[in-house]
Amino acid sequence: DSGVTQTPKHLITATGQRVTLRCSPRSGDLSVYWYQQSLDQGLQFLIQYYNGEERAKGNILERFSAQQFPDLHSELNLSSLELGDSALYFCASSPSTSTDTQYFGPGTRLTVL
Amino acid sequence: GDSVTQMEGPVTLSEEAFLTINCTYTATGYPSLFWYVQYPGEGLQLLLKATKADDKGSNKGFEATYRKETTSFHLEKGSVQVSDSAVYFCALSYHPRGSARQLTFGSGTQLTVLP
């Protein structure tokens, strides 16, 4: 158990809908990363937050957004969902921006029908 | 940009066989290198890491040495067990001063160990 929690574990929804994935980092970790794992794209970095502020963006679509709240939990919002958005979404955390090691949560499996 | 290339899978071995999973990287500077493991139905777990050239990371019988001259970080284990069956990901983190430390992953290698 990494100490990173993600909810829900599974999510099934329809095209065009909007969903929110939630992540709670390890106690004391200030930095949160979001990754997408799909069969065709592999594991890709989406976005990073540090202490409430956006720090870096990767291959994140404009339909996707994220935020980190004062209690340091983070949410990833996915809107206008398409079939191709079906994937495993992982959250990872690290103590600071100067730490290499990231600890991953169990992931949220999103299925868009 | 930065990239990681892993050997194609899947890899199937008998218990107690020797394991090598090749990993090479491309980066503009000197990245930190990682191996993560993903067991069926679970998230990624850090297996080992190395932060500079010639460092050797090791954990649970697995080893990998950071080779700057060949830009490689091959994963090895002398005697695999059925419980090692999982997907293995090589990754790098390169962070010029002030930049973020996101991970760049290879495509993953599925390992199956047969009893």
Write out pLDDT tens, residues B43-61: 899 999 999 999 999 999 9
Closest Cα in chain B to A105:
B43
Q: What confidence score (pLDDT) does residue B96 get?
A: 61
Which chain B residues are closer than 8 Å to A30 by Cβ?
none
3-state secondary structure of B25: strand
Model confidence over A59-90: pLDDT tens digits?
899 999 999 999 999 999 999 999 999 999 99
Give A32's contacts in chain B (Cβ within 8 Å).
Answer: none
pLDDT, tens digit (0-9, with 9 covering 90-100), for B86-104: 999 999 987 666 556 788 9
Interchain contact, A97 vs B101, CB within 8 Å: yes
Instruction: Answer whether B103 touches A (CB < 8 Å).
Output: yes
Closest chain A C-alpha to B12 CA, distance in angstroms: 20
Maximum Cα–Cα distance for chain B, whole Å?
A: 48
Rounded Cα gap, residues A29 and B59, in angstroms: 24
Asked if the Cβ–Cβ distance from B42 to A106 is below 8 Å, we say yes
What percentage of chain A reaches a pLDDT higher than 90? 82
**Residue (of A67, A64, A66) closest to A79 by Cα position:** A64
Q: Taking CB atoms and an 8 Å cutoff, what residues of chain A touch B43?
A: 2, 4, 90, 104-107
Asked if A22 and A106 touch (Cβ cutoff 8 Å), the reply is no
The closest CB to that of B32, out of A55, A56, A100, belongs to A100
CB burial string B34-71: b at 16+ within 10 A, e below: bbbbbeeeebbbbbbbbeeeeeebeeeebbbbbbeeeb
